[in-house]
Amino acid sequence: MSINIGFIGLGIMGKPMCRNLLKAGYSLAVYDRSSVPVKELVADGASEAASGKEVAGRSEVVITMLPDGPDVEQAVLGPDGVLAGARPGTVLIDMSSINPLVAQKIGAACSERGIDFLDAPVSGGEPKAIEGTLAIMVGGNQGVFEKATPILQKLGSSVTLTGPVGAGNVTKLANQIIVACNIAAMGEAFVLATAAGLDPEVVFNAIKGGLAGSTVLNAKAPMVIARNFKPGFKIRLHQKDLRNALLAGGEMKIPLPLTGIVQDMITSLVNDGKGEQDHSAIVMALEATAGLQIVKPAAARA
């Protein structure tokens, strides 16, 4: 590939995304505050950069994949950030999940420097990042989107322009509300089934083909039943997303009552030291209230 890509943020999502870009044949410069994933990707064929500024200076397209808005602001607007090294015409794609207003702020700063900007958060967690089948929700200019689409298609199976800058993150917040509420509803349903003496796996198999079936149910119910909470997407990151959703709702004067209820559950789990577990562990808040675990009937009661 003739396009040089820079990638900043090599965490649970960023690292497999980089590997898919390398597999696609792109030249890739990478930067992260942790040297461990940098060295792993260099071994895979990437080149190391010392800062976001250096990444931008060596790239025509820069992708950021960071935990939250302040991290993106520092990586892009900071003294050694992307804008310090980017040339006019560079395309910056922020694939982090952040507050839409922060995305718009960064987009405006990029525009002043002649840098094209897209906000393009993703859904699918680590498994989809590894597979290259993420759902990518994009906000920005149509022409810039078309220019970036071939790259994004190496990372996701669904790439959709949802509106202007900021729209990608509004769409992602809508996604995260649905996912969190689905997990909570699943937990409540399986707590009821377990309390009634039913096998939650049998209940799952009975309902997954009906109207209650969903991608969330199919992905998360087996994890809960197996008590496997290895993170594909951490509870503390979902807490951040719902916080951004509630902030956005407040700014728009839109009530989000279900989001607030699930956010309270998530906050209690974070305060209980469970923030690093997979977000399927949202069910633990409901289990604690009921005094039982979603397990086989013989061991249901805690």
Instruction: Determine the pLDDT at residue 254.
Output: 96
Cα atoms found within 13 Å of the Cα of residue 171, Cβ hemisphere only: 23
Chain segment 102-123, per-residue pLDDT in tens: 999 999 999 999 999 999 999 9
4-164: in CATH 3.40.50.720? yes
What's the pLDDT score for residue 125? 87
Any residues with CB less than 8 A from the CB of 209 and at least 6 apart, and which? none
Instruction: Parse the chain into domains and list their residue ranges.
Output: 4-164, 170-299
- Judge whether 172 counts as a catalytic residue: yes
Find how far residue 184's CA is from the centre of its chain.
18
Q: Check 105, 172, 220, 234 and give the catalytic one.
A: 172
Phi, psi of 9, rounded to the nearest 5 degrees: 105, 95
- pLDDT tens string 37-49: 999 999 999 999 9
Contacts of 172 (CB under 8 A, 6+ apart): 97, 121, 122, 123, 137, 241
The model's pLDDT over 230-249, given as tens digits with 9 standing for 90+, comes to 998 899 999 999 999 999 99
Confidence bin at 301 (pLDDT 50/70/90) = very low
Q: Any idea which fold 170-299 has?
A: N-(1-d-carboxylethyl)-l-norvaline Dehydrogenase; domain 2 (1.10.1040)
Among the listed residues 240, 242, 261, 262, the one whose alpha carbon sits nearest the alpha carbon of residue 250: 242
Average pLDDT, the chain: 96
Same fold, 4-164 and 170-299: no
CA 70 to chain centre: 16
For the chain, give the number of residues.
Answer: 302
